[in-house]
Structure 1
């Protein structure tokens, strides 16, 4: 009886395996798994929100939006590239920006674009001004670099430093490209942001904010001190821009 039951189970197993419906199910599961893996990789490449918006056709027609941008750029990158060489410098960029992932997610931001040794991060304006998010990302990133000081000194001989600036305003968002699509922002806001960030060294500041950002921040419970640096004429601008320096607030030990 036992041999008969074993033979019966084997026959049923073979019949199930070679049945058209089972084979169709296997093919379906494989296609689903491959599709999910493809979507996951595309999400990592362009960002989950960008991928969703492109899929929904949200930006196929240009649309106006209020956005807040954070620009983070490596200090003395040209000198570092010459010292390290192209390959080691590219590894330095990889190691540095890999530390941005968690803090970007924690502060509900999106990475808009990597530009060599710089990165451009953005939020919808109302999201970016909440809970010091536009400042948190930069200073948390710098702290993480310091926590990995030993690694960077062993691999490259120094800990990389970065400067940053934040600005906000109205932009036009639209999908560009055919074979390779991405959502691009068009506005003088980005040009002003780049000019603002260029002032970090002349003003002796690690991070600068425009007055447009500062006037919208919730400063009651802020972890940061702001220094009014006055109106400054940025390169290529007709009118001065209000500029503020940012520094983490020092806690008084009682």
Structure 2
């Protein structure tokens, strides 16, 4: 079974969260074993609960491994999805309440199973003993507070991921953007049609809400098409793809446009009810080489620079002239595999002169042959 790109990304996140929690549990195991002895004014390595260090380490890894996988799955697959359109503070509150309950459960279950089961069972008042050992003891409280901090770091890490995609984050950590270098990319510029008249009709606040919904509904189509968002410019979004086999084989940039179109169509009732319009949009796709690197001193950003960006912007302007919703360049048209060409209708629109270059860019309008076709 072939997993959708979005599911792969989500599984990657769950794996990252699980490994982070395992690492945190291992660190805490070492930390708990280091004790300060006031009488001798020295530090001693003492393993709690009369266990060997290997046993203690495994216990402190098993709990976080299970917790990271289950908690991370709920956070990534459910909470982040369902709370995407909510305010930041509401998002943080619901996640915090979830992790309080989840961590309290884990921090009572794991110590009970591995440390205190016999002691609680043999106590005169088992419930009171369990409460003292598992919830009210300084050790238990410290554990809960520590894991709540780790949970908060997990949520913030997810927020950072949503700003920087995995490939960008890895490249940032490895310093690949410190010095500019040339790469080959496919870019799509997508713009909301009639945005000026819509803004006048709705007002600025309502129009901003429309844009938030509009861009939010693009998230799944972009992820499922292996695309990455470069930037938002007013009512325009810029998406890019690396030129690699999996992208070309499924012609993901073109498929992305029609997936976005279907996503908006599926939400048409919501848009009509909320804004009294169904958003229409146009887009252009072009391929070429760009220079990528970090730009700025105070607010650093990853920036692409090159003629391809200007050309793609000009291609999108041609959508209004030729009455097309999607225009691609001949560089992109030549990449379409033979088995994918049967899905699309390509209409040659003519040529467009490129500034400072002898060669002209051929334009093609693109549409689906069958509107019910699954892309």
TM-score (norm. length: structure 2): 0.60
Are 1:145 and 2:264 matched, yes or no? Answer: yes
Are 1:64 and 2:182 matched, yes or no? Answer: yes
| Mapping for residues 134-213 of structure 1, pairs under 5 Å | 134-213=253-332
TM-superposed CA distance for 1:210, in Å, is: 0.7
Contact between 2:251 and 2:340, CA under 8 Å: does it hold in 1?
no
TM-superposed CA distance for 1:76, in Å, is: 0.8
Provide the rounded CA distance (Å) in 2 between the counterparts of 1:134 and 1:8.
62
Q: What corresponds to 1:131 in structure 2?
A: 250
Return closer, same or farther for 1:251/1:145 CA change in 2, 3 Å cut-off: closer
Aligned length: 249
Q: What corresponds to 2:346 in structure 1?
A: 226
Provide the rounded CA distance (Å) in 1 between the counterparts of 2:213 and 2:353.
35
Q: Which runs of 4+ in 1 moved over 6 A?
A: none
TM-superposed CA distance for 1:116, in Å, is: 1.5
Contact between 1:129 and 1:213, CA under 8 Å: does it hold in 2?
no
Return closer, same or farther for 1:216/1:24 CA change in 2, 3 Å cut-off: same
Return closer, same or farther for 1:8/1:63 CA change in 2, 3 Å cut-off: same
Task: Tell which has more relative contact order, 1 or 2 (C-alpha 8 A, sep 6+).
Answer: 1
Which structure: greater strand fraction? 1
RMSD after superposition: 2.7
| Mapping for residues 62-101 of structure 1, pairs under 5 Å | 62-101=180-219
Return closer, same or farther for 1:4/1:97 CA change in 2, 3 Å cut-off: closer
Contact between 1:54 and 1:175, CA under 8 Å: does it hold in 2?
no
Q: What corresponds to 1:52 in structure 2?
A: 170
Are 1:105 and 2:242 matched, yes or no? Answer: no
TM-superposed CA distance for 1:231, in Å, is: 1.7
**Greater alpha carbon shift after TM alignment, 113-122 vs 138-147:** 138-147
Return closer, same or farther for 1:18/1:180 CA change in 2, 3 Å cut-off: farther
Q: What corresponds to 2:63 in structure 1?
A: none
Provide the rounded CA distance (Å) in 2 between the counterparts of 1:88 and 1:195.
29
Q: What corresponds to 1:215 in structure 2?
A: 334
Larger Rg: 2
Contact between 1:122 and 1:128, CA under 8 Å: does it hold in 2?
no
Unaligned runs of at least 5 residues, structure 1: none
TM-score (norm. length: structure 1): 0.87
Contact between 1:211 and 1:242, CA under 8 Å: does it hold in 2?
yes
Contact between 2:133 and 2:140, CA under 8 Å: does it hold in 1?
no
